[in-house]
Amino acid sequence: MLQCHCLRRIPELWKPTLMRRILLTCLAILVLAGCQRDWTTLVDTEPSPTLDTPLMERNDAADAEEWPAIPEQDVKTDWLIGKVIRVADGDTLTLLVDEKDAPKEIRVRLEGIDCPEAGQPWGTRAKQALSELVFQQTVKVWSIGQDRYGRTLGRVYVGEDDERSDVNLALVAQGLAWHYKRYSDDELLADAEIAAKRERRGLWADPSPVAPWHWRAKQPKGKSEGPAFTPPADGKHWLNTTTGVRHNSTCENWGKTKRGRPCGPKEGKACGMCGG
């Protein structure tokens, strides 16, 4: 009788235990489903920046690498501030800088990059892009010296400090300039070129783009940029409008300047050899 009574109670003891197990199982499934939904939402709503995102619209931590602070210079003359009054091609512009005596024009060659030449594919587009960025704008140029043509080499920035654009970097990122590795080891320019190639932006959409230094090497030798220079018949001073240096008629550089004009005895800065 005892055995039968115990057997009759087994279903009563078993049912609550089974219900608890079922409830616990359901609760666990709901918890896991909620975690999975939260994780999916996190992944879908917080994507990392892509190469398609415009450079000036990136506001995350990556900006610190892509838009480094403008370098502080010990020598103030390393900085030029002026208005862009002329754009010659994709990597050359003319800056009008206020001086004590009179405004001075300075030709600036964008450092670390090389754009397609005027006769090359994408040469006109590169010039247009530079014009859109800086023409008639006040820019800040970090000067690092001069090239063999007397142009100031520099990194060009446009806009306010908190919304500035690195013009050299922007042209490379758009696929309108090469990183000029022969003269620059800048990592930002190198990374921008790699990204532009990968995304086939600008000139990288062409199957076999020709670097401008290779294109220039194939041009006919002796090709001149303009008519030969003839010194003025009268006058005692000549101003090299590229460098702003003044020469007098006794100087060995007299007559060798490709770009210049007659000037007064106080224009520009005196030549270190002839005294101007």
| Catalytic residue annotation | 109, 117, 151
Query: Which tokens in the block code for residue 84?
Result: 């862009």
Count the alpha carbons within 13 Å of 187 in the hemisphere toward its beta carbon. 4
Distance CA 118, CA 275 (A): 38
Phi, psi of 21 (to 5 degrees): -65, -40
| Beta strands 152-158; 165-166: pairing state | antiparallel
Query: Which tokens in the block code for residue 50?
Result: 């892509």
Query: Which tokens in the block code for residue 204?
Result: 């990288």
Report CA dihedral (168, 169, 175, 177) to the nearest 10 degrees. 30
Distance CA 247, CA 37 (A): 77
Q: Which residues contact 48 (CB under 8 A, 6 or more apart)?
A: none
| Beta strands 269-270; 245-248: pairing state | parallel
Q: Which of 62, 55, 24, 75 is nearest to 199 (CA)?
A: 55
Phi, psi of 178 (to 5 degrees): -90, 150
Q: Which of 79, 71, 68 is nearest to 192 (CA)?
A: 68
Query: Which tokens in the block code for residue 249?
Result: 């008629």
